[in-house]
Structure 1
């Protein structure tokens, strides 16, 4: 087991964790300490249990907001997957279609004429 030392609200703590989880624990402690420092800057000195409670509640509030946002994004993604946006394809006007068909017929006639001349 690994041991991780960290600070929360200017107090040193030490916890053991599974090997490989040190980075995650340090990150979590850093987030917790940031909330505690923000509380201390606003409220000044306070008892440790109250500071830890407030910092935990602040992190819980942030996590709840992120979960709400994630749920909203997942619903939007599912909506897009089940009902993809329509792609508008321009319609070729009939007059242009006729002109293109005429050009294609001319090109085929020219190709046939060239083949006939090469065969002769």
Structure 2
């Protein structure tokens, strides 16, 4: 963060809420005046990986504080997409453990 910009919080988030709120964000103070800023997309929403799209995504949320923080920030590196790739509903079976899982992690039907 630039000198002189000092919000009164160290963590600020807007969580997603199914099914209506599919976008969220968060900013977390890390160290040395550095912040981790996250954009969250759920239910088919994708977060942009270009700086302008990222800022527009944050500006479009109900929580203006994270967008304000991002506007004052100097990026420390590239924007990275997160999340998991979409899979068809039948790609995961309750009797097949996730990759790398042990018997302790095996999925069991309820």
TM-score higher than 0.5 here?
no
More strand by share: 2
Whose relative contact order is higher, 1 or 2, with alpha carbons under 8 Å and at least 6 apart? 2
TM range (shorter): under 0.3
More helix by share: 1
Please report the TM-score for the alignment, with normalisation by the length of structure 2: 0.22
